[in-house]
Every structure is written in structure tokens, then in C-alpha cells.
């Protein structure tokens, strides 16, 4: 086995399943990889329409082990042999974020709340690791690839956690097929990085405009608090990341 790329999936929900499925289907023609998925949730019947690795028989079972099993089954069926996977039955929180991210080469962030998204972004920047972010609300979604050392970063585009109550999947809902599309775009950005062709960029999709796709480079901001010239973020302060729940 050649040099192995260590990939951390944050979340085994709709985005994680969709991007994981595309990656597994492509693994046979990609460099060797080792997957870790962190999620402490169980499969819910309400979410089966957008969580492509799970079936009716999985309802009530832990997501992580099923994600790993389906990922490996798919990858091996397609001829991939230099692939391993494991799950961590936990949440990515301020106490463990930096250590988990430091142990991997790239992060695939598919969280369902802004607190976790910013926590991943900040911890990855401190550890100089690239992130492939993605998010979906209602009929719109995005996938975002940071720089090689997470500069430019997530905060170059989204400056900080929303101060008011933001629309999230718990409040506004999401359209199932759009989650699959955005997950596939996220996997595309990940594969670009795995084969050495990544550039920091944002891809946005609007399903209400005929599935219109817009792609643009992600630019670093000089005043970004995380990766800017006078960055002020030098550690993870748990008080900055308040996690709302979302099934």
C-alpha cells in the first residue's frame, strides 16, 4: 500500500452519506485512503430519504458502524482494496476537535449546525488542515474547499456564527434530492484534493432556479480573524461554539 490519505468525516447524515457514497464508488481509481467517521447519532426513519447509506432495517441503530460497513462494501464491490474505515461514536466538540483533526490529512464537514461548522473550521486552521465544507437549507446549498492549510478558510466567507436564530435543518428543513446533489459536489471537491488538483473555491446550487450552479474562487481576507494577516483566533474557546440540536 502506498501513502495513505487520512480522511475525517464529521457527521454521517445526509451530506456525509452522499459524499461518502460518491467517494466509495470512486475509491478504486483514487490513492489509498483511511476513513474515520465521527457521529454519535442513530438512524431515524424521518431522515432515510436523504441518508443514502441507510435502510429501514437500520432505524434505531448507530449511524457510524453502518456508515463504515456500507462505505467499505461499496468501495470493495467497485474493486478498491487500499481502503480502510472506522467510526468514532462521539461528537466533535471543543475538547476533542483539534486532536481529531490533527490526526487526519483532510476533513469532510457535513454538520447540521453552524456551531460545529465554525468549530471544524477554526480547529482545522489551527492544525493547518484543509476542509471540504457543505451545507443545505431549504432549496439552496453549497460546497466549499479551503486552502491546503485552511487558508483561505470558512471564516473568509462566513465571518462568524449568526447572532440571531439562523435557518437550519431543524427550523427550515431541507430538500432530500438537493442534499444528494450537494454531497456529490462535496465529494468532487474532495477528490480534486486527493489527486492534487484542488483550488480553494465555493460552489453554490439553487434548486429553485433550475438547479443553477455557480462556482467561484474562495479568496483569503486580510482581516479574517482565523487566517488573516493579524489573526486573533489562536485557541479553541468552548464558549464560542454553542450547539443547537438537529435530528
Which residues are the active-site residues?
169
205-to-63, 134, 141, 178, 197 alpha-carbon distances in Å: 27, 11, 5, 9, 22
Which residues touch 29 (CB under 8 Å, ≥6 apart)?
Answer: none
Place of cell 487520512: 6
Q: Any alpha helices (H) in 78-175, and if so which ranges?
A: 97-102, 114-127
In terms of Cα–Cα distance, which of 79, 85, 133 is closest to 106? 133
At residue 205, φ and ψ (nearest 5 deg) are: -130, 135
Amino acid at each position: 500500500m502506498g501513502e495513505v490519505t487520512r480522511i475525517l468525516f464529521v457527521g454521517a447524515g445526509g451530506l456525509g452519506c452522499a459524499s461518502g457514497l460518491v467517494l466509495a464508488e470512486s475509491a478504486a481509481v483514487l490513492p489509498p485512503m483511511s476513513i474515520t467517521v465521527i457521529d454519535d447519532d442513530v438512524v431515524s426513519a424521518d431522515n432515510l430519504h436523504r441518508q443514502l447509506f441507510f435502510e429501514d432495517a437500520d432505524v434505531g441503530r448507530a449511524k457510524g458502524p453502518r456508515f463504515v460497513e456500507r462505505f467499505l462494501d461499496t468501495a470493495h464491490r467497485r474493486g478498491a482494496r487500499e481502503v480502510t474505515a472506522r467510526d468514532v461514536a462521539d461528537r466533535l466538540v471543543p475538547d476533542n476537535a483539534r486532536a481529531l483533526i490533527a490526526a487526519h490529512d483532510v476533513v469532510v464537514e457535513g454538520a447540521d449546525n453552524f456551531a460545529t461548522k465554525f468549530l471544524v473550521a477554526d480547529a482545522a486552521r489551527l492544525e493547518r488542515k484543509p476542509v471540504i465544507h457543505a451545507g443545505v437549507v431549504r432549496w439552496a446549498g453549497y460546497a466549499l474547499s479551503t486552502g491546503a492549510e485552511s487558508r483561505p478558510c470558512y471564516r473568509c466567507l462566513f465571518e462568524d456564527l449568526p447572532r440571531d436564530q439562523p435557518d437550519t435543518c431543524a427550523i427550515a428543513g431541507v430538500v432530500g434530492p438537493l442534499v444528494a446533489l450537494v454531497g456529490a459536489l462535496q465529494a468532487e471537491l474532495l477528490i480534486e484534493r486527493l489527486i492534487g488538483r484542488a483550488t480553494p473555491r465555493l460552489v453554490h446550487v439553487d434548486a429553485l432556479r433550475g438547479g443553477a450552479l455557480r462556482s467561484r474562487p474562495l479568496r483569503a481576507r486580510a482581516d479574517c480573524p482565523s487566517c488573516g494577516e493579524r489573526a486573533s483566533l489562536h485557541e479553541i474557546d468552548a464558549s464560542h461554539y454553542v450547539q443547537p440540536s438537529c435530528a
